[in-house]
Amino acid sequence: MPEFTKPFDSKWQAAVLLLPTFVVLIAFLYYPGLETFRLSLQQTILLGAQKSFVGLENYRTLATSAAYHKSFAISVAFAAVVVVGTLAVSLFVSYLLFQVDVGASTYLIAAIWPYALPTAVAASVLLFLLHPSLGIITHYLELLTGLSLDWFTNGPQAFVIVAVVAIWKQLGYNIIFMVAALNNIPGTLTESAQLDGVGHLKMLYKVYVPLMSPTLVFLVIIDTIYAFFATFPLVDLMTSGGPDGATNLLIFKLYRDAFEFSNLGLASAESVVLFAVVAILMYVQLRISESRAHYGG
Amino acid sequence: MATRTNPDSALAGLLPEGVDTERVLIHGGLIFSILLMGLPLILALIMSTQNTSEVYQVTNVGVGSQGLSNYETALTQYNFGQYIINSIVMSAIIVVGKVALSLFAALALVYYKLPYERAIFMFILLTLLLPVPVRIVPLFDLMSRLGWGNTIMAITGPYIASATAVFLFRQHFMAIPASLVENAHLDGVGPLTFLWEVLIPMSKGMIAGVSVITFIYSWNQYLWPLIIMTDQSKQVVQVGLRFIQGAAQSGLTQWGLIMAGAIIALLPPLVVLIVMHRPLLETLAIQQK
Amino acid sequence: MSNISIDGLTKKFDDVTAVDNIDLDIESEEFLVLVGPSGCGKSTTLRMIAGLESITTGDLRIGDRRVNDLPPKERGIAMVFQNYALYPHMTGAENMKFGMNSVSDYTDDEIDDRVEEAAEVLDILELLDRRPGELSGGERQRVAIGRALVREPEVFLLDEPLSNLDAKLRVQMRAELLQLHQELDATTLYVTHDQTEAMTLGDRVAVLNDGRIEQVDPPQVLYDYPETRFVAEFIGSPAMNIVPVDLEYDGDSVSAVHEAFELSLPNGDRFTDQPPAAAFGVRPEDVSLAVNAPADAQTFEAEVSVTEPLGESLLIHCYVGDDELHVKAEARSAISPGDTLELAVDEDRLHVFDDTGSAVYHSSVREEAASDTVYTTPEP
């Protein structure tokens, strides 16, 4: 806390200043957030015109639905691939940016621009460039690898393609934080290792990665939340969840259950599951950053 | 960083004497990575100038015959002009509203003697647990009841208050030297004067950073506008990309046109990022804490 | 200009008492310095007077008003901070003006005139259009002082204003502050941890320790007649030597007996109490080599451990028995570690403190006139 006496003490002024934020947060965040829980205990029919209390029925449906199980498994696997892929590529680029001697700031902008890349743009561009028959990248990839890319019908391929697009869009954000973390490492900590002639790879994994681990933990959490919540446009524009549900992420299933099939109660239960995901991730992040604050690690 | 030459490197023999192998590898690695990351955009840019038959020659990477006419078609016939305006209005309202509301909230949290200050701050922070998908069904319901469907309020209101922005401004205010606050306290300077003449001028970088983050974030919104804006003419540009996907001419998808639309939808945040990268990077550096 | 009257002032932060029942009267036009080690409560006292901290108990009057519950701007004070407290985005003039509309009824033109005037007094006219980032530390502090001047307060409060300056500049600014005070005759309360600053600036100096006032007196009185062992050791550099002694009383004649020496203390009738054992104090400059002392002086031996040439004098660290003693000898004296010295003390400058730390004896009489020194500074 700052070491000064607070200059203002009018309670009503403070209330007026906080009011707009509170109105928005309560009306558009807390109220609908709580409503989600209530709706998840109801069944809606006739496009939401009639509602009836069904207790945990919606959750029971989710728990026994093979399609939901598959969607859940796919989302977890998708998040894992996106997190690992994003971190690996970003770490490689960030390390080069950290080591480069001239032109660092130009390289930096050239590397972080995907932060400004809208997900829907990423999806549109790669949908075309990776198009099974028209995509130029597909064409050369097939020439190089001898594989036949047909991700409009091949589920695992579609999964990988969507993950690649998700990683592409998320690189900028990760590189920003990793470069900052690397630049914050005191030079003296690494100089002695360098004097001993430790090689680049060993330096990276033995010295830099441990020292930037708080940032890496933060990015794992952020990237996971991203993979679960912000990838809707990719699925919507590229695969519509297909082929055969191979890219039917939870967020996309939620959208269809709610707004295509008007199953609002079930969709709300799915929202609650997503809430649990975000709550657990935030809790993990909080605990880790707290223990860091306490033990100075 | 100290640089060391690795005499075993295969590259060493290929290079003229005096050129540092390691530097070449680092620059080469960077250029390669950046080109790879930028390649889809470059290809999209080229193909946005091609007509349908040029696009269907898969390996044709020459500048097409269309020039900028795909852009013109997207902007006029496919409504991207309107979408862009809608997106700009939405993002501008969210940026200005969020910055203003968050500055007010942070002013109250940091400079007012508040009962339950910690609880109030936690109440704001806890909304991080409620991203749009968690509350999407009731939010849709609420907007219908308010009669806000297809209005600018529907796509700006829910985004206008933010835990992150309040958190960032609060951090920044708390880092302002105590004596500068007390100086104003001694003179009995009022809260709005203090905000306007001291806090805002001293937070320019942070305000710029929060604005950039917010702009890029709002510009990227897709799911919520898709659901709540059923009137196509009021839709934002990201969802516009969904509509233009159906663009076809004699049964062939007009990919050149779609690429033009994608480039249009990308340009504003990309320009903002490049111009404002400095405050953005400084602000993000604080956000992680 | 107003006086400040403090009666039973106390500040508690939760369980911690930062300022403990302080009584202090600052006369109109007086320059009073509050000095003490960090954490002694001096800044908290100043901040209570300014209105930046609430007062737990006690009365605070500025002029004839009780100001305990008045907001800062109604107390007629202006404050100068250690870190200058200048807004980085405002020019010197803007910094001086900022807040004037809230704190005073002056029109903008009048404010401009006053800024001009203050800048002339401080010789900072050319700094008015520059921002703090373009100013040196000394220049910033001048602008900060100008900021206070413009407000024409009843009372100036200065919180360690020179502590961020380098040593040379500090000496220069000290002289300038003195001169400014002589010109303005403003009631000034000055907080510092630096006893040299306290001694050179104050009409009177209040020494604080652990939230309590140890002594309030003019600088020389403080130095010559410390009322407590804390004051004796805090004021003066190098600090006063204090060694434990047993005291033997024989009517009015008193001897201080130490394992390595025995001194008969003159004017034994001045003991206000007769503790059997006490702390014997003598300043380094009041100990001399016996060769330089009068022939009939009482002497004792000490062994030199370290010598420190200070330039104008030689500081000798030596041992009498197990106790260390500092002696200021003439510069260039031929003394080296290991030497055994014959020492004498100035019998007019001896002090004895009892085990509560209170002075029970000074060998010379405190001239009462000294404590009644008129607080206004001499005419320029």
Give the tens place of pLDDT for each residue, C2-13.
899 999 999 999
Residue A48 maps to a domain: no
- What is d(CA C186, CA A165) in angstroms, rounded to the nearest whole number? 72
Residues of B in contact with A20 (CB under 8 A): 101, 104-105, 161
C53 touches A at CB < 8 Å: yes
Q: Which of B168, B219, B205, B214 is nearest to B281 (CA)?
A: B205
Interchain proximity C50–B186, CB inside 8 Å: yes
At C177, list the tokens: 């502050």
From residue C241, give the alpha-carbon distance in Å to each of B234, C222, C237, C313. 87, 16, 11, 17
Supply the DSSP symbol for C41: S
Helix (H) / strand (E) element for A280: namely: helix A264-295
Handedness of CA A37, A42, A43, A44 (dihedral sign): negative
Residues of B in contact with C73 (CB under 8 A): 186-188
What is the CA angle C153-C9-C224, rounded to 5?
Answer: 85
Q: Give the chains touching B; criterion: ≥3 Cβ pairs < 8 Å.
A: A, C
Interchain proximity B184–C99, CB inside 8 Å: yes
The whole-number pLDDT of residue A201 equals 78
Q: Which of A94, A111, A110 is nearest to A180 (CA)?
A: A94
State the best of A1, A5, A6, A8 to mutate against chain C, taking most chain C CBs within 10 Å.
A5
How far does the CA of residue B214 sit from the closest CA of chain C (Å)? 26
Residues of B in contact with A39 (CB under 8 A): 137-138
What is the CA angle B144-B147-B153, rounded to 5?
Answer: 100
C133 touches B at CB < 8 Å: no
Residues of A in contact with C73 (CB under 8 A): none
Task: Scan for tokens 């309107």, then name that residue.
Answer: B82
CB atoms within 10 A of CB A166: 27
Q: pLDDT category, C378, cuts 50, 70, 90? A: very low
Residues of C in contact with B202 (CB under 8 A): 87-89
Q: Which range marks the domain in which residue A193 is found?
A: 65-295
How far does the CA of residue A2 sit from the closest CA of chain C (Å)? 14
- pLDDT tens-digit map of B64-111: 777 788 888 888 888 899 999 999 999 999 999 999 999 999 999 999
Residues A170 and A151: beta-carbon distance below 8 Å: no
Interchain proximity B30–A111, CB inside 8 Å: yes
From residue A2, give the alpha-carbon distance in Å to each of B58, B177, B192. 62, 8, 20
From residue B164, give the alpha-carbon distance in Å to each of A113, A224, B126, B251, C270. 22, 18, 10, 47, 72
State the best of A119, A121, A262 to mutate against chain B, taking most chain B CBs within 10 Å.
A121
Supply the DSSP symbol for B261: H
- pLDDT tens-digit map of C6-56: 999 999 998 889 999 999 999 999 999 999 998 899 999 999 999 999 999
What are the residue ranges of CATH 3.40.50.300 in chain C?
4-229
C51 touches B at CB < 8 Å: yes
User: Which of residues 145 through 164 in chain C touch B, CB cutoff 8 A?
Assistant: 147, 151
Residues of C in contact with B187 (CB under 8 A): 72-73, 98-100, 102-103, 151
The whole-number pLDDT of residue A273 equals 93
| Mean pLDDT across A232-256 | 90
Residue A57 maps to a domain: no
Residues C31 and C158: beta-carbon distance below 8 Å: no
Q: Give Cβ neighbours of residue C312 (< 8 Å, ≥ 6 apart).
A: C331
- What is d(CA A271, CA A294) in angstroms, rounded to the nearest whole number? 34
- pLDDT tens-digit map of C162-205: 988 888 888 988 998 988 888 888 899 999 999 999 999 999 99
At A218, list the tokens: 């933060």
At C333, list the tokens: 């004296």
Q: Give the chains touching C; criterion: ≥3 Cβ pairs < 8 Å.
A: A, B
Q: Which CATH architecture has domain C4-229?
A: 3-Layer(aba) Sandwich (3.40)
Structural Rg of chain C based on CA atoms? 24
The DSSP annotation for A102-129 comes to SSHHHHHHHHHGGGG--HHHHHHHHHHH
How many CB contacts within 8 angstroms connect chain B with chain C?
A: 63
The DSSP annotation for C220-257 comes to HHHHHS-SBHHHHHHSSSSPPEEEEEEEEEETTEEEEE
| Mean pLDDT across A109-126 | 93
Residues of B in contact with A99 (CB under 8 A): 1, 26
At C295, list the tokens: 């022939």
User: Which of residues 130 through 169 in chain A touch C, CB cutoff 8 A?
Assistant: none
Task: Scan for tokens 């026994």, then name that residue.
Answer: A64
The whole-number pLDDT of residue A49 equals 62
How far does the CA of residue B179 sit from the closest CA of chain C (Å)? 5
Of C242 and A56, the structure prediction assigns the larger pLDDT to C242
Relative to beta strand C31-35, strand C204-209 is parallel
- pLDDT tens-digit map of A64-81: 888 899 999 999 999 999
At B87, list the tokens: 């997106």
CATH code for position A176: 1.10.3720.10
- pLDDT tens-digit map of A48-107: 566 788 888 889 888 888 889 999 999 999 999 999 999 999 999 999 898 888 888 889
**Length of chain A measured in residues:** 297
Residues C23 and C6: beta-carbon distance below 8 Å: yes
> Which residue among A15, A21, A131 places its CB closest to the CB of B124?
A21
| Mean pLDDT across A129-145 | 87
How far does the CA of residue C43 sit from the closest CA of chain B (Å)? 13
Relative to beta strand C155-159, strand C77-80 is parallel
Residues of B in contact with C160 (CB under 8 A): none
- pLDDT tens-digit map of C85-126: 999 999 999 999 998 888 888 888 999 999 999 998 888 999
- pLDDT tens-digit map of C301-332: 999 999 999 888 999 999 998 999 999 988 88
Residue A38 maps to a domain: no
Residues of B in contact with C164 (CB under 8 A): none
Torsion angle, alpha carbons of C307, C310, C312, C318, to 10: -30
Interchain proximity B190–C102, CB inside 8 Å: yes
Residues of B in contact with C88 (CB under 8 A): 202
Q: Which of C343, C366, C360 is nearest to C278 (CA)?
A: C360
Interchain proximity C89–B201, CB inside 8 Å: yes
- What is d(CA C288, CA B219) in angstroms, rounded to the nearest whole number? 83
Low-confidence ranges of chain B (pLDDT < 70): 1-19, 250, 288-289
The whole-number pLDDT of residue C286 equals 92
> How many structural domains comprise chain A?
1
State the best of B113, B181, B186, B206 to mutate against chain C, taking most chain C CBs within 10 Å.
B186
> Which residue among B185, B198, B201 places its CB closest to the CB of C72?
B185
Residues of C in contact with B201 (CB under 8 A): 87, 89
- pLDDT tens-digit map of C141-164: 999 999 999 988 889 999 999 988
Domain ranges of chain B: 17-70, 80-287
CB atoms within 10 A of CB A231: 27
Residues C305 and C259: beta-carbon distance below 8 Å: no
* Residue C15 Cα to chain centre, angstroms: 28
Residues of A in contact with B160 (CB under 8 A): 24
- What is d(CA C261, CA C264) in angstroms, rounded to the nearest whole number? 10
Helices and strands in chain C, H and E counts: 10, 21
From residue B28, give the alpha-carbon distance in Å to each of A96, A248, B22, B229. 10, 39, 10, 47
The DSSP annotation for A201-254 comes to HHHIIIIIHHHTHHHHHHHHHHHHHHHHHS-HHHIIIIITT-STTTT--HHHHH
The whole-number pLDDT of residue A296 equals 40
The whole-number pLDDT of residue B14 equals 57
A5 touches C at CB < 8 Å: yes
- What is d(CA C153, CA C76) in angstroms, rounded to the nearest whole number? 5
Interchain proximity C102–B185, CB inside 8 Å: no
Q: Which of A168, A167, A170, A190 is nearest to A98 (CA)?
A: A190
- What is d(CA A285, CA A222) in angstroms, rounded to the nearest whole number? 9
C171-176 long-range contacts, CB within 8 A, separation 24+? C172/C138, C173/C138, C173/C141, C174/C200, C174/C201
The whole-number pLDDT of residue A183 equals 86
- pLDDT tens-digit map of A187-203: 777 777 777 777 777 77
Q: Give the chains touching A; criterion: ≥3 Cβ pairs < 8 Å.
A: B, C
The whole-number pLDDT of residue B18 equals 58
Q: pLDDT category, A133, cuts 50, 70, 90? A: confident
At C69, list the tokens: 């519950």
- What is d(CA A46, CA A50) in angstroms, rounded to the nearest whole number? 6
pTM of this prediction? 0.86
Angle between helices A119-129 and B255-275 in degrees, nearest 10: 140
CB atoms within 10 A of CB A290: 10
At A139, list the tokens: 């064409």
Tell me which chain B residue has its CA closest to the CA of residue C49.
B186
Q: Give Cβ neighbours of residue A159 (< 8 Å, ≥ 6 apart).
A: A74, A77, A78, A81, A246, A247
Please identify, in words, the CATH class of the domain defined by C238-371.
Answer: mainly beta
pLDDT at A12 over 50: yes
- What is d(CA C1, CA C189) in angstroms, rounded to the nearest whole number? 13
Tell me which chain A residue has its CA closest to the CA of residue C73.
A7
Phi, psi angle pair for C24, to nearest 5°:
-160, 135
Tell me which chain C residue has its CA closest to the CA of residue A8.
C71
The whole-number pLDDT of residue C379 equals 40
Q: pLDDT category, A1, cuts 50, 70, 90? A: very low
C105 touches B at CB < 8 Å: no
Check whether domain B80-287 has CATH 1.10.3720.10, yes or no = yes
- pLDDT tens-digit map of B12-47: 555 566 567 778 888 988 899 999 999 999 988 888
The whole-number pLDDT of residue C47 equals 93
The whole-number pLDDT of residue B13 equals 54
